[in-house]
Amino acid sequence: MTITDNAVLIEVLSKTSVTINLYASVIIFVFGVVGNTLNIFVLTQRTLRSAQHSIGILLAVTAWSITEIIRYGYYALNLFQTSPQLLTWCRYSFFIVLYPLGVTGELVTIVKAMRTIYPESVRNRYSILLPNKLNFGFDYFYFLVVVLLAYTYFPTMFKHMFTQRAKTLNPSSSSKKVN
C-alpha cells in the first residue's frame, strides 16, 4: 500500500473513532465503515482495475468527499459553538442526495469487483483456502455477496438520518415520529 492508501485508511479509522459516538446503533456504524473500507480495498488492488475505473468509484468518492467536508466543518465549528445555521442545514440535508448517491456508487463498485474476482484463479488471491494451519476458510467473493445483502438495511439507516434531521433542524417536532 502506498502513502496515499495508508492516509485513506487512517481517515477511515479516524472516522471510526469519531462516528461510533454519534450513531444510535452499532449496526449503522458497522455498515458505514464496512462500505468505506471495502471500497478502499477495491481502490488499492491492481487486479480490480475495472472497478477502479467505474462510475461507481466516482459517485462514492464524490458523495464521501462532500459529506466529509460538511461534517468535519460542522464538528470543528461546533467545538467553538459557532456553527452557522446554513452549515447545520447542509449537514442534515445534503444526505438526502449524497447518501443514496454514495450507496449506489458503493454497490456499483462492489458488483464490478465481484465480476472481476469471480474466476477461481483470481478469487484464490483474495481468499483463504483450506486446508491450512488454522483450519479456516474464507472466500472473498461470497463475503461480498453477504455485504451486498447487508445493503438491504439502507432504508432503515436512511430513515434514521431523517429522524436525526428532524431532531436537529426542528427540535419542537422531535417528539413526533418520522415514518
pLDDT at 176: 54
Task: Inform me whether the pLDDT recorded for 63 exceeds 80.
Answer: yes
The DSSP call for residue 159 is: H
Domain ranges (residues) in the chain = 3-170
Exactly one of 106, 126, 151, 153 is catalytic; name it: 106
The string of DSSP letters for 117-163 reads H-SHHHHGGGSBPSS-TT---B-HHHHHHHHHHHGGGHHHHHHHHHH
| Percentage of the chain lying above the pLDDT 70 cut | 74
Cβ(25)–Cβ(160) below 8 Å = yes
Of the listed ranges 46-50, 60-64, 111-115, the one predicted with least confidence: 46-50
At 43 the pLDDT is 60
Per-residue pLDDT at 56: 87
pLDDT for position 27: 62
What's this model's pTM, rounded to 2 decimal places? 0.73
Closest CA to 9 of 31, 30, 38, 47: 38
Structure confidence at residue 85 (pLDDT): 95
- Tell me whether residue 68 is one of the annotated catalytic residues: no
Strand partners, 138: 128
Q: Is 99 known to be catalytic?
A: yes
Residue among 11, 23, 74, 99 flagged as catalytic: 99
pLDDT for 177 beyond 60: no
pLDDT of residue 175: 54
